[in-house]
Amino acid sequence: MKVTLLAHTPEPEKIIAAAAKLCYSSSSIDGLMGGLTPEKTGSFIEMLSEIGHESPIEHVTFTFGIEGVSRAFLAQITRHRMASYSVQSQRYVRKDQFEYILPPEIEQIPEAKEEYIRAMEAAQEHYDRLADLLKARHNEEFLTQGFSEKEAARRAEKQAIEDARFVLPNACDTKMVVTMNARSLYNFFRHRCCNRAQWEIRAVAQEMLRLVSEEAPTLFSHAGPPCLSGACPEGKMSCGKMEQVRRHYGELKGQTI
């Protein structure tokens, strides 16, 4: 798994502070950025957190490149709808010798790992065979329709892998570009940094949080699972490791605990 912070709103904390300043003062638009020292900017950010005024933080966005994750991960992250996603297509990209994600629990058991690898190899064999069979049929059809050999082959390839992909497993790797505003990121971290989140999306969320905390430490100082700032809301489903979780996220964000 690899997460890269590709881009973000310049001076994100200052932009949020300017938006908050507009809400609570008579400043003109021209004067919004004036006087926003690091201290005053941090004060605005903390004030917004204390009073629960979240809309100003929607003005900044962060764009990530995520790779080495599974299609199962894709199904989970796209449930966070206040975001923009661009995902490598299995319809247009042929998966020759596809990479796959190996769950740690399976990797720890030799017999399970062996069974898993066999399943991945079988999926590749079925995919390749289906793609070849479908491509041959479609190629004949396109040639009959008068397309050149090159164009017929191109169209046949696309149409073949469109259907062959149905046998690819959830473990098949994918990559994507994801953009979220800071408010959506807070929600994402609240749900996916929790120990009860699935291991793969939790690992990605933690790395995303580490990256944004480097760029906007005050803004994301309270971000993470809900137990960082209060009691665990999971009730009897709690992991029971609140102090360990708090230490972990403090270290991840470079905070003194």
pLDDT-based confidence at residue 33 (cuts at 50, 70, 90) = confident
Of the candidates 229, 39, 47, the one whose C-alpha atom is nearest the C-alpha of residue 19 is 47
Q: What DSSP designation does 172 have?
A: B
Query: Which segment of 4-8, 151-155, 228-232 scores lowest on mean pLDDT?
Result: 228-232
**Mean predicted confidence (pLDDT) in 155-163:** 96
Task: Examine the domain organization and report whether 133 and 6 are in the same domain.
Answer: no
Structural domain includes residue 112: yes
User: 165 with 95: CB under 8 angstroms?
Assistant: yes
Length of the chain: 257
Is residue 197 predicted with pLDDT exceeding 80? yes
Task: Examine the domain organization and report whether 248 and 178 are in the same domain.
Answer: yes
Task: Examine the domain organization and report whether 182 and 145 are in the same domain.
Answer: no
CA distance linking residue 173 with residue 69, whole number of Å: 5
Structural domain includes residue 257: no
97-134 per-position pLDDT tens digit: 999 999 999 999 999 999 999 999 999 999 999 999 99
73-90 per-position pLDDT tens digit: 999 999 999 999 999 999
**Which residues make Cβ contacts (< 8 Å) with residue 27, sequence separation at least 6?**
21, 34
pLDDT-based confidence at residue 26 (cuts at 50, 70, 90) = confident
Catalytically annotated residues: 192
Most confident range (mean pLDDT) of 27-41, 65-79, 237-251 is: 65-79
Block residue for tokens 């709690």: 238
